[in-house]
Amino acid sequence: MMKVQECRKKGIYNIGFIDPHVVKEESVRKWPNRTKNIIFTAMDRQHACTFILLPYNFDFHWILISIEIDRSRVVVFDSLRRPKEDYQSLIDILQSAWARFIHNHIGVATPPSDLYIKTDFPCFRQKQETNLCSYYVCEHIQDFCSSTKRMTQQQFDIWCMKEDLIKPERIRAIQESLCGFLLDEVINRKGEFYSDQRISVGRLDRNNRGGDNNDDDY
């Protein structure tokens, strides 16, 4: 949500997103057809984007999926390098959505073929028995959104070597970014995502915020 807003404000239009609250392990397992339609719609509406990013959680582990339509491939950023079989159900749905997409968008993939799933792309690695996977997903999304150009493989290899260690400054930068977003856009009454919970549960009259409230439960 924060990065969608940031890209919109900065005029970064080559990055698209799929909501991880909509495409998740439960939806993949229980509603595969609905999930396929959601992914197809995301591809269809964001087909001009260089990257379509999907943070995905399965078995209490986060990975980042990057759909690259112009390359007919999906890149998996997994800090633990879990076996692809662990999220094969999602891959199958992606392939099904892709087949429908290239049928509707003739010429995107010539000749038509399945998505190439790249799981060995160099990325940050976390130590075993740590729970830093969500941090690494945030790091990757941050780097996608901080540059409008696609890195070459060589540039990315060099970048990974330089950033091999988690520096406290990088962690603080993400913390400050999240805190700033919450303060400015969620807690602030003028923020885009502000929600008055008293209104949502019907305890406050929208037309009389400053007036008396006679609800004994309030």
Whole domain around residue 121: which residue ranges?
A: 2-191
The answer to whether residue 207 is domain-embedded is: no
Cα(57)–Cα(169) distance, integer angstroms:
26
pLDDT tens digit string along 159-182? 555 555 455 666 676 677 778 767
Cα(160)–Cα(115) distance, integer angstroms:
25
The answer to whether residue 88 is domain-embedded is: yes
* Beta bridge pairs of residue 72: none
The answer to whether residue 95 is domain-embedded is: yes
The answer to whether residue 218 is domain-embedded is: no
Q: Model pTM?
A: 0.68
Domains of the chain: total? 1
In a structure prediction context, what are the per-residue pLDDT tens digits for the chain, which is 218 residues long?
566 666 667 777 788 999 999 999 999 999 999 999 999 999 999 999 999 999 999 999 999 999 999 999 999 999 899 999 999 999 999 999 999 999 999 888 778 889 999 998 877 777 777 788 888 888 888 878 776 555 565 655 655 555 554 556 666 766 777 787 678 777 888 877 777 665 554 444 444 444 444 444 43
Cα(22)–Cα(24) distance, integer angstroms:
6
